[in-house]
Amino acid sequence: MSEQNFSKLLAPLDLGFTTLKNRVLMGSMHTGLEEHPDGTKRMAAFFGDRAKGGCGLIVTGGYGPTERGATHPDTKMIETAEDIAKHRIITDEVHKYDSKICMQILHTGRYAFNGSPIAPSAIQAPINMLKPEACTVEMIEEEICGFVDLALKAQEANYDGVEVMGSEGYFINQFTALRTNQRDDEWGGAYENRIKLGVDVVRRIREAAGEKFIIIFRLSMMDLVEGGSSFEEVVQFGQAIEKAGATIINTGIGWHEARIPTIQTKVPRAAFTWVTAKYKEHFNIPVITSNRINTPEVAEEVLQNGDADMISMARPFLADADFVNKAAEGRSDEINTCIGCNQACLDHIFSGKMTSCLVNPRACFETEINIIPTKTVKKIAVVGAGPAGLSASTALAEAGHEVTLFDGESGIGGQFNIAKQVPGKEEFEETIRYFGRQLELTGVTVKLNTRISANELNNSDFDEVVIATGINPRMPPIEGVDHAKVLNYIDVLKHKKAVGKKVAVIGAGGIGFDVSEYLVHSGEATSQNIAAYMKEWGVDMTLKARAGIEGVKAEVSAPAREVYLLQRKDTKVGAGLGKTTGWIHRAGLKSKKVKMLSSCEYHKIDDAGLHVSIAGEKQILDVDNVIICAGQDPARELIEGLNKPYHLIGGADVAAELDAKRAIKQGLVLATQL
Ligand code: FAD
Ligand code: NAP
Ligand code: SF4
């Protein structure tokens, strides 16, 4: 039970013509439900659950104002009376719970993958294969009309307002920055010309929609790219937006093409609220802050500090629909916290898959995955209290089964206890905390320090066994692999065995990267130190540098060790990492001078070091230690001699390519089927 009352976070916000019941905004996320054939029903359930869970104001995923402004050729547009009627089903569901909902209007400009992107100037984005067409003046007018038209359709569908996306390097932001706007007409050149698009869009929506319609403008407060706006320019833009009729200003940090992580797990919590704070005093309308705020405690602190009037959280609402109610009821220890991994949300959406959440596989599957009370109560043993076993045991108990959870270790969490040792992955502890509380709430009997055998299970009265015993680290058959200088990742991360100053890591998968990250740090993890983080990534906290970065040199502390990270494949090292996070891992190690090498053939390990051919060239790496991170095999020893019905989940089922996302989902889905 939390003592905190979250007085600021839960305070209503009076907007003059309407009042928001609290200071929590669920930020915009395109989920993929928009285009799904069953999308209306599923979005009504998805947003309805978040409204029921107490969120004051919800913003939908971005809708394109025109075909050329839409993200993809198959992006769902809102055109017909039937489309509007479908959206009323969604808004009705949200309004049932006294929450409000705005539609986001997102014009992607040169970031569009729709086959014919447009932009202020024909300058290609580094993250798009296609060069955009420069807009004519007539085209700009057409796009503005598209914004206004969509806002009116949203109003007809009973949305309480719209959010105009003016940040993250999208169309409106492309007009503001010299980087992307090199026009010499009335839409380019002087800053007042470059901000005219955003200002005109807001003014004309206000004129068309009337006074009683929320207009949120997402303002790029720090572009984090060369040629972005300066602090003074952003103030000028925000003030013009306010004058044009915006109700609220929301914060945007960094363009998509920026090479500074802004939301991934290694970004400190609330890392960018200092930016919003610097602008807030220049505006008279409420200002929202965002980025890596994932607990009510942090959100409250940000508001108490006066950094903003309201908090935007997006992914935390994938992780837990009841975030606000749990906080309000003193149950914040029951919140399933977003760990910033991006694995089931952003990585999915950028690979054309439906968004969900690693820690909450029900996100966006609210109508598909549901725990239904069982009619036949079974006695079930779940062996292994890693993510898979925790998910299965709590869900099985919630369904009404009698569940006993066994683990040989003294604590729950399985490999997450190892993962959380890695600098920047401390958030993984939150998932262990969440499940620990769920075990108490659902009444699972937990037996720790109990390595259970097939024989013991056979002689028990359990009806069924869930085997969630995880993995065994793979030991590759390299000559000398039993040499004293050879360790594996468990020796290093869990048993904290001493490691020398020069190290070769064999295997460059997720774990090889994590171990390298751990080894190059000398205990001064910057993951919760905002000032150190900004220094490391070259961000100017005085905001004197244009776009927060121009002319600023990153200051990276010297690596604690010299590390070689090796793989056999001839592909780029790290190519298999997460779509939206792989570049961050690579950039982090590069800045710490880790030598990432592909096309390696391992010959032997001896006193001299690791004998290896790299791209066919034989050499000896004279390292103090060789650390094996060569993948994992399922740990299924328990099956041998087990004569009870059993189910394999998590790493015990598939270790190759397996991750916690699959482990947690498999546990939950199994529980819905037993
Ligand atoms: P485990 O977590 O391995 O849990 C198995 C449990 O079973 C253990 O606690 C073990 O003690 C217990 N057990 C085994 N046999 C018995 C027995 N006979 N009796 C009782 N108990 C038994 N995944 C991601 O998705 N994203 C990441 O960023 C990520 N980072 C990682 C970083 C590191 C350093 C590591 C090591 C792993 C990482 N993973 C990551 C992988 C993730 O942790 C695993 O996919 C996940 O833990 C698998 O869950 P599991 O429940 O199947 O197995
Ligand atoms: P992995 O991703 O399978 O990587 C194993 C690495 O070892 C690869 O680089 C592989 O590359 C190498 N390898 C495999 N067999 C080998 C052999 N016999 N000899 C030498 N090298 C060999 O496994 P992992 O890094 O151990 O990760 C385990 C699981 O945790 C994975 O499912 C991973 O997704 C998950 N995880 C995820 C993250 C994340 O950020 N998403 C982070 C950590 C872990 P070559 O064959 O080219 O040498
Ligand atoms: Fe957060 Fe990871 Fe879930 Fe995305 S998948 S919402 S980053 S916990």
How far away, in angstroms, is 519 Cα from ligand 1 center?
21
Counting residues of the chain whose pLDDT is more than 90, the rounded percentage is 96
Is residue 658 predicted with pLDDT exceeding 70?
A: no
Is residue 2 predicted with pLDDT exceeding 60?
A: no
In which element (H, E) is residue 310 found? strand 310-313
pLDDT of residue 524: 58
**CA neighbours closer than 13 Å in the CB half-sphere of residue 104:** 24
Question: Mean pLDDT, to the nearest integer, of 454-479?
Answer: 97
- Mean of the per-residue pLDDT values of the chain: 96
The more confident residue out of 536 and 3 is 536
Q: Give φ, ψ of 634 to 5 degrees.
A: -60, 140
pLDDT of residue 522: 72
Tell whether 439 is covered by a domain: yes
Question: Mean pLDDT, to the nearest integer, of 410-432?
Answer: 96
Please tell me the distance from the alpha carbon of residue 482 to that of residue 475, in angstroms, as a whole number.
10
Asked if residues 388 and 468 have their Cβ atoms less than 8 Å apart, the reply is yes
pLDDT of residue 527: 66
Strands (E), 489-557: 502-506
Ligand nearest to the CA of 651: 1
User: Do residue 666 and residue 573 come from a single domain?
Assistant: no
Ligand nearest to the CA of 578: 2
Q: Whose CA is nearest to atom 17 of ligand 2?
A: 476
Q: Whose CA is nearest to atom 22 of ligand 2?
A: 630
Please identify, among 279, 310, 341, the residue that sits at the C-terminal boundary of a domain: 310
Q: Whose CA is nearest to atom 1 of ligand 3?
A: 338
Tell me how crowded residue 33 is: count the other CB atoms within 10 A of its CB: 26
Tell whether 569 is covered by a domain: yes
pLDDT of residue 358: 97
Structure tokens, 577: 């990492």
Asked if residues 416 and 386 have their Cβ atoms less than 8 Å apart, the reply is yes
Buried b (16+ CB within 10 A) or exposed e, 528-558: eebebbbbbbbbbeebebbbbbbebeeebee
Is residue 557 predicted with pLDDT exceeding 70?
A: yes
294 close to ligand 3 (CB < 6 Angstrom): no
Substitution candidate for ligand 1 out of 469, 515, 646, 657 with most atoms within 8 A of CB: 469
User: Do residue 284 and residue 399 come from a single domain?
Assistant: no
Counting residues of the chain whose pLDDT is more than 70, the rounded percentage is 99
Radius of gyration of the chain (CA): 26
- Which CATH number does the domain housing residue 280 bear? 3.20.20.70
Atom number of ligand 1 nearest to Cα 389 = 51
User: Do residue 613 and residue 662 come from a single domain?
Assistant: no
User: Which neighbouring-strand residues pair with 651?
Assistant: none
User: Do residue 188 and residue 269 come from a single domain?
Assistant: yes
Tell whether 600 is covered by a domain: yes
Please tell me the distance from the alpha carbon of residue 169 to that of residue 175, in angstroms, as a whole number.
9
pLDDT of residue 540: 97
465 close to ligand 1 (CB < 6 Angstrom): no
Buried b (16+ CB within 10 A) or exposed e, 599-629: ebebeebeeebbbbebeeeeeebebebbbbb
Asked if residues 289 and 281 have their Cβ atoms less than 8 Å apart, the reply is no
Q: Is 170 a catalytic residue?
A: yes
485 close to ligand 3 (CB < 6 Angstrom): no
Q: Cα 534 to chain center, whole Å? A: 19
Ligand nearest to the CA of 667: 1
Task: Report which DSSP code applies to 528.
Answer: T
Tell whether 638 is covered by a domain: no
> What's the structural domain count of the chain?
3
Name which of 360, 318, 388 is nearest 667 in CA terms. Answer: 388
pLDDT level of residue 659 (50, 70, 90 thresholds): confident
Residue pointed to by tokens 């070769």: 504
432 close to ligand 1 (CB < 6 Angstrom): no
Tell whether 533 is covered by a domain: no
User: Do residue 280 and residue 391 come from a single domain?
Assistant: no
188 close to ligand 1 (CB < 6 Angstrom): no
Residues with CB under 6 A from ligand 2: 343, 474, 476, 506-512, 514, 567-569, 577-578, 629-632, 657-659
User: Do residue 427 and residue 494 come from a single domain?
Assistant: no
pLDDT tens-digit series, residues 214-246 = 999 999 999 999 999 999 999 999 999 999 999
Ligand nearest to the CA of 29: 3
Q: How far is CA 260 from CA 7, 256, 499, 554, 654, in A?
A: 33, 10, 30, 11, 34
Please tell me the distance from the alpha carbon of residue 318 to that of residue 280, in angstroms, as a whole number.
28
Question: Mean pLDDT, to the nearest integer, of 248-260?
Answer: 97
What SS3 state is found at 620?
strand
Please identify, among 255, 277, 310, the residue that sits at the C-terminal boundary of a domain: 310
Q: Whose CA is nearest to atom 43 of ligand 2?
A: 510
358 close to ligand 3 (CB < 6 Angstrom): yes
Name which of 592, 425, 431, 426 is nearest 510 in CA terms. Answer: 425
Please tell me the distance from the alpha carbon of residue 10 to that of residue 540, in angstroms, as a whole number.
32
Tell whether 99 is covered by a domain: yes
Atom number of ligand 1 nearest to Cα 390 = 51
Q: Whose CA is nearest to atom 28 of ligand 2?
A: 631
What SS3 state is found at 314?
coil
Is residue 525 predicted with pLDDT exceeding 90?
A: no
User: Do residue 512 and residue 401 come from a single domain?
Assistant: no
Q: Whose CA is nearest to atom 39 of ligand 2?
A: 510
pLDDT level of residue 74 (50, 70, 90 thresholds): confident
User: Do residue 138 and residue 230 come from a single domain?
Assistant: yes
The DSSP string of 172-239 is HHHHH-TTT----STTSSSHHHHTHHHHHHHHHHHHHH-SSSEEEEEEEEE--STT---HHHHHHHHH
Atom number of ligand 2 nearest to Cα 658 = 32
505 close to ligand 3 (CB < 6 Angstrom): no
Question: Mean pLDDT, to the nearest integer, of 4-22?
Answer: 96
pLDDT tens-digit series, residues 132-158 = 999 999 999 999 999 999 999 999 999
pLDDT of residue 145: 98
The more confident residue out of 525 and 538 is 538
Is residue 523 predicted with pLDDT exceeding 70?
A: no
pLDDT level of residue 528 (50, 70, 90 thresholds): confident
Phi/psi-derived region of residue 574, left when phi > 0, alpha when psi is between -120 and 50, beta in every other case: left
User: Do residue 442 and residue 482 come from a single domain?
Assistant: no
pLDDT of residue 337: 98
Please identify, among 266, 281, 310, the residue that sits at the C-terminal boundary of a domain: 310
User: Do residue 431 and residue 494 come from a single domain?
Assistant: no
Atom number of ligand 3 nearest to Cα 337 = 8
Please tell me the distance from the alpha carbon of residue 557 to that of residue 523, in angstroms, as a whole number.
11
The more confident residue out of 160 and 528 is 160
Tell whether 165 is covered by a domain: yes
How far away, in angstroms, is 415 Cα from ligand 1 center?
3
Please tell me the distance from the alpha carbon of residue 392 to that of residue 671, in angstroms, as a whole number.
6
Buried b (16+ CB within 10 A) or exposed e, 50-63: bbbbbbbbbbbbbb
Atom number of ligand 2 nearest to Cα 343 = 41
pLDDT tens-digit series, residues 571-600 = 999 999 998 999 999 999 999 999 999 999
pLDDT level of residue 398 (50, 70, 90 thresholds): very high
pLDDT level of residue 68 (50, 70, 90 thresholds): very high
Substitution candidate for ligand 2 out of 568, 573, 614 with most atoms within 8 A of CB: 568
Is residue 1 predicted with pLDDT exceeding 60?
A: no
Please tell me the distance from the alpha carbon of residue 467 to that of residue 641, in angstroms, as a whole number.
13
Strands (E), 52-107: 57-63, 100-105
Q: Give φ, ψ of 381 to 5 degrees.
A: -100, 125
Out of 111, 159, 170, 434, the active site residue is 170
Ligand nearest to the CA of 581: 2
Task: Report which DSSP code applies to 111.
Answer: G
pLDDT tens-digit series, residues 332-389 = 999 999 999 999 999 999 898 999 999 999 999 999 999 999 999 999 999 999 999 9
pTM score, whole prediction? 0.95
Q: Cα 18 to chain center, whole Å? A: 31
457 close to ligand 1 (CB < 6 Angstrom): no
User: Do residue 393 and residue 503 come from a single domain?
Assistant: no
Buried b (16+ CB within 10 A) or exposed e, 187-205: bbeebebbbbbbbbbbbbb
Q: Which domain holds residue 195?
A: 54-290+299-310
Residue pointed to by tokens 């096309």: 599
In which element (H, E) is residue 673 found? helix 660-673
- Which CATH number does the domain housing residue 441 bear? 3.40.50.720
pLDDT level of residue 207 (50, 70, 90 thresholds): very high
Q: Whose CA is nearest to atom 19 of ligand 1?
A: 451
pLDDT level of residue 4 (50, 70, 90 thresholds): confident
- Which CATH number does the domain housing residue 510 bear? 3.50.50.60
Q: Whose CA is nearest to atom 30 of ligand 2?
A: 659
- Which residues does 558 contact at the CB level (< 8 Å), separation at least 6? none
Is residue 657 predicted with pLDDT exceeding 70?
A: no
Please tell me the distance from the alpha carbon of residue 672 to that of residue 674, in angstroms, as a whole number.
6
Tell whether 446 is covered by a domain: yes
Q: Whose CA is nearest to atom 38 of ligand 1?
A: 419
- Which residues does 595 contact at the CB level (< 8 Å), separation at least 6? 563, 564, 565
Atom number of ligand 3 nearest to Cα 340 = 7
Question: Mean pLDDT, to the nearest integer, of 662-671?
Answer: 97
Atom number of ligand 2 nearest to Cα 508 = 9
Residue pointed to by tokens 């090498």: 597
Please tell me the distance from the alpha carbon of residue 650 to that of residue 464, in angstroms, as a whole number.
17
The β-bridge relationship of strands 445-447 and 287-289 is unpaired
User: Do residue 420 and residue 487 come from a single domain?
Assistant: no
